[in-house]
Amino acid sequence: MEKADILIRNCTILPMDDRGVIKEGLIAIKNGKISYAGREAKAPPIQAEKTINGRGKVATSGLINCHTHLAMTLFRGIAEDKPLEKWLKETIWPLEAKLKPRDVYDGALLGCLEMIKSGTTTFADMYFHEDQVAKAVEKAGLRAVLAQGVLELDHKKLGEKLLKASVNFAKNFNGFADGRVTVQLGPHTLYTCSPPLLKKVRQKATELNVGIHIHLAESEETVNLTKQKQGLTEVEFLEEMGFLGSDVLAAHCIHLTEKEMKLLARHNVKVSYNPVVNMKLAQGTAKIKNLLDLGVAVGIGTDGPASNNNLDMFQSMKVAALLQKQYYKDPTVLPAQTVLKMATIDGAKALGLEKTVGSLEVGKKADVILIDFKKPHLTPIHDFYANIVYSASGSDVDTVIVDGKLLMENRDVKTLDEEEVMLKAQKTAINLPKRKTYFQVY
């Protein structure tokens, strides 16, 4: 008799490899990895300490959020329906200058809680005091790819200081939390980092063998700025300086020319598509169909909760599909299965984790979610993918497993005290505007 730590029985499995829907499925988890995922009838006899009844539930790979600024949960709803520049300069930046490390921890922990409760198991984050985010990830039990942000804003010394901090963070936290944390460098954008600084980031990333997380082509205004300054588009300019590579994760990618899209494909650059925030801030629509046709790996991100205003990847999946159908005036664009792939295996590719997670295959880390389909809005079941992408919300996630460890069962979070996390964050968030500046970057 084979042994396992956790068995999930009688569930429908969407493994997100090429096997399609598996009914009457069984998932076995051993030593943090998937040791079986397939038809129960074909499985060998397996014994386990813990058995979960998956009847009426759908198991799939934990969702991957490819772009966020987690600690910004603290600013959720604080400056609504404003133009981007006003939003940033009048509200967000002054508040960020007040953030102490402990505040970032409080905000990040709230974000981790929200992600667990909505089925996200891995996320890519870029922010300040990123060590605090790493500690929140460790406590919550999630998986993450973290980058300490770098920006310069015409202050060369500031740029150097922040790059050093970003490099130090990368050195100290790669492999943190039993390997659940990996790292990237986090240059903010082309308009907040000078070309020499970007070159240094590239060198350091190569030297350390870590990736780079950057905002790219998000607003028309800043894209035009680069064009005026450099005589090149953003992607052309990055290519010329040797910045592009398969380890670069580019968030947004809205205002790209055909040529730029081809360059991204040629250099195997990864893209995070963030549809909700792109619409909310009225920045435009990323041409995701074109990118997919060119073979670019595209994941989905929520962006920070100050501008989305939640971390629900189910909502972002639906809006991801809606926005592309609308943009291309074609309801067949980005069908449900493609979207769920983007939120799982393609997201894993975008973060360089496709050998570790992103699908329910034997040998991969056991990052599994169970979605409770016994809900009015998920009835009837004609199409599992459509019900997940178009009908479900994060609150339909019932059980979350990361690295073979149960983080939530029957919506009961095991690793965090929900009430305490919420109270702490609420208190921090409400007090913050009244507090003094802690570190004035801008």
- Interaction with its own copies in 331-370: which residues (CB under 8 A)? 331-336
Minimal distance in Å, beta carbon 115 to its own copies? Answer: 9
**What is the C-alpha end-to-end distance of the chain, expressed in Å?**
62
Q: At its nearest, how many Å lie between its own copies and the CB of residue 269? A: 25
- In the complex with its own copies, which residue's Cβ is closer, 150 or 389? 389
In the complex, the smallest distance separating the C-beta of residue 246 from its own copies, rounded to whole angstroms, is: 30
The tokens describing 413, both together, are 């979070």
Any idea what DSSP says for residue 131? H
Candidate residues 9, 30, 69, 76; the one interacting with its own copies per rule CB under 8 A: 76
Tell which phi-psi region holds residue 286, choosing left (phi > 0), alpha (psi between -120 and 50) or beta.
beta
* Residue from 145, 251, 323, 370 in contact with its own copies (CB under 8 A): 323
Judged by CB under 8 A, which stretch of 129-137, 287-295, 324-332, 358-366 contacts its own copies? Answer: 324-332
Q: By 3-state DSSP, what share of the chain in percent is helix, strand and coil, each rounded to 5?
A: 40, 25, 35
- Is 134 a binder of its own copies (CB under 8 A)? no
**Does 119 sit near its own copies (CB under 8 A)?**
no
| Beta pairing class for 181-187 and 412-413 | unpaired
Are 126 and 108 a contacting pair, CB within 8 Å?
A: no
| Alpha helices (H) along 281-417 | 288-293, 313-327, 336-342, 345-350, 384-386
Helix (H) or strand (E) holding 400: strand 397-402
- Nearer to its own copies by Cβ, of 170 and 397: the residue is 397
Q: How far is the CB of 414 from its own copies (least distance, A)?
A: 15
Rounded CA separation 214/230 (Å): 18
The encoded tokens of residue 420 equal: 């305490």
Using DSSP's 3-state secondary structure scheme, residue 322 falls into helix
Smallest separation (angstroms) from its own copies to the CB of 395:
4
Are 158 and 441 spatial neighbours (Cβ–Cβ below 8 Å)? yes
Q: Is 20 in the site for its own copies (CB under 8 A)?
A: no
Contact by Cβ (8 Å): 130, 99: no
Of 148, 166, 233, 391, the residue at the interface with its own copies (CB under 8 A) is 391
Candidates 88, 418, 435, 441; binder of its own copies (CB under 8 A) is 418
Comparison of 80 and 293: residue with beta carbon closer to its own copies: 80
Q: Give the residue with the Cβ less far from its own copies, 110 or 298.
A: 110
Residue from 293, 430, 437, 439 touching its own copies (CB under 8 A): that is: 430
C-beta of 216 vs 334, nearer to its own copies: 334
Residue 218 binding its own copies, by CB under 8 A: no
Q: Do β-strands 368-372 and 397-402 pair in parallel, antiparallel, or remain unpaired?
A: antiparallel
The stretch among 46-54, 223-231, 258-266, 330-338 that binds its own copies (CB under 8 A) is 330-338
Among 83, 179, 242, 295, binds its own copies (CB under 8 A): 83
Residue of the chain from 99, 136, 311, 371 that contacts its own copies (CB under 8 A)? 311
Which residue, 9 or 318, has its beta carbon nearer to its own copies?
Answer: 318
Segment contacting its own copies by CB under 8 A, of 127-135, 252-260, 325-333, 340-348 = 325-333
- The candidate with the shortest Cα–Cα distance to 199, out of 159, 160, 242, is 242
Pair type for strands 143-150 and 181-187: parallel
The Cα 315–Cα 270 span in angstroms is 22
To its own copies, the closest distance from the beta carbon of 319 in angstroms equals 7
236/327 with CB nearer its own copies = 327
- Residue 272: CB minimum distance to its own copies, A: 18
- Sites for its own copies among residues 248-307 (CB under 8 A): 276, 278-282, 284-285, 305
Quote the tokens at residue 261: 């899209």
Maximum distance among all Cα pairs of the chain, rounded to whole angstroms: 68
Among 44, 77, 231, 363, contact with its own copies (rule: CB under 8 A): 77
Residue 410 is a binding residue for its own copies (CB under 8 A): no
Helix and strand numbers, DSSP H then E, in the chain: 16, 17
The reply to whether 313 sits near its own copies by the rule CB under 8 A is: no
Q: Which of 114, 131, 234, 346 binds its own copies (CB under 8 A)?
A: 114
Total residues interacting with its own copies, rule: CB under 8 A:
75
User: Which of 36, 75, 176, 191: binder of its own copies (CB under 8 A)?
Assistant: 75
Helices (H), ranges, 231-334: 234-240, 258-266, 275-280, 288-293, 313-327
Q: How far is CA 200 from CA 82, 243, 261, 422, 442, in A?
A: 35, 10, 24, 39, 21
219 is a site residue for its own copies (CB under 8 A): no
Distance between CA atoms of residues 110 and 103, nearest Å:
11
